[in-house]
């Protein structure tokens, strides 16, 4: 599930992983019906956002899944809760592992036991 400007890096990573990408156009209010539909069709979920993880879209995804009683592995990727230098957004996202290469690497690391090598 891609939130914000990370849709295109998520699509690039998904090509390498043979994964589904859902464009979550709005973080608030969260499209819970879409989230639950996606959760029923997949063994694991990944949220990718261009904002802080703490209290962000990934947290909302986890809370919605919990409220619905859905137990699925969830990897939330986003910015840490710390000061990030100013500069070129593309370079800064890459430094945080939020470019296509970093997203793919994080998913492979977290789900290495279920992904083909």
Q: What is the pLDDT of residue 117?
A: 62
Domain that holds residue 106: 4-110
Residue 48: strand pairing partners: 2, 77
| In the predicted structure, residue 115 carries a pLDDT above the cut 80 | no
Q: What is the DSSP pairing of strand 45-52 with strand 74-79?
A: parallel
User: Distance between CA 79 and CA 72 in Å, rounded?
Assistant: 22
- Is residue 72 one of the residues assigned to a domain? yes
Whether the full predicted model's pTM is greater than 0.75, yes or no, is: yes
More confident residue, 33 or 85: 33
- The number of domains in the chain is 1
Say which CATH number the domain at 11 has.
Answer: 3.40.50.920
CA distances to 10, 76, 86, 96, 108 from 83, rounded to whole Å, are 24, 19, 9, 12, 27
Q: Please tell me the predicted confidence (pLDDT) of residue 50.
A: 93
Position 13 scores a pLDDT of 97
- DSSP-derived secondary structure letter, 23: B
């Amino acid at each position: 599930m891609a939130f914000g400007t990370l849709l295109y890096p998520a699509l690039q990573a998904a090509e390498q992983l043979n994964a589904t990408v859902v464009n979550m156009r709005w973080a608030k209010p969260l499209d819970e019906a879409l989230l639950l539909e996606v959760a029923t069709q997949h063994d694991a979920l990944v949220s990718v956002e261009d904002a802080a993880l703490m209290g962000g879209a990934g947290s909302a995804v986890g809370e919605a899944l919990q409220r619905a009683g859905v137990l699925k592995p969830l990897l939330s990727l986003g910015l840490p809760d710390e000061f990030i230098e100013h500069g070129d957004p593309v370079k800064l996202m890459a430094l945080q592992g939020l470019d296509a290469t970093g997203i793919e690497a994080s998913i492979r690391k977290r789900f290495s036991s279920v992904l083909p090598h």
